[in-house]
Amino acid sequence: MRKVVLVGCVSIVAFLLASLTVFAEQQERWPDLKGKTLTMAYMASGTYDVAAETVAPEFERLTGARIQIDKSPYLTLYEKILTDLISQTGTYDVVTVASQWDGQFSNFV
């Protein structure tokens, strides 16, 4: 019985080590965006904008891109995004939208 348990434990450890090796060899493939600036529109809510600011440095490190975050209150954000989409100025590369705006913005994406 001890032998069976020992063999089982050794097998599990070997499997885990092999899995970790394969996992360690896999690398994320991030696009090379060196020299590019991505402008993002986020709601100044203390949640979405803070989350974006938190992950931006890591994204910049991984891609080489510079992140510029434009924070606006809810209604101002709506107006800015809608104006950008209608005028096709391309002010924003990334926008966050409230779900109730989806129908109004869907024709532009």
35: left (phi over 0), alpha (psi -120 to 50) or beta: left
Residue 51 in any domain: the answer is yes
Residue 26 in any domain: the answer is no
Domain count, the chain: 1
- Looking at residue 72, its pLDDT comes to 96
Give one DSSP letter per residue of 30-98, joined into a string: ----TT-EEEEEEE-SSSHHHHHHHHHHHHHHHH--EEEEEEE-HHHHHHHHHHHHHHT----SEE---
Global pTM reads 0.68
Residue 11 in any domain: the answer is no
Domain around 57 = 37-98
Name the band, by pLDDT with cuts 50, 70 and 90, for residue 27.
low
pLDDT in tens, 34-70: 999 999 999 999 998 999 999 999 999 999 999 999 9
pLDDT in tens, 64-105: 999 999 999 999 999 999 999 999 999 999 998 889 998 888
Residue 54 in any domain: the answer is yes
Q: Given a cut of 50, is residue 10 above it in pLDDT? A: no
Residue 8 in any domain: the answer is no
- Looking at residue 109, its pLDDT comes to 78
Residue 56 in any domain: the answer is yes
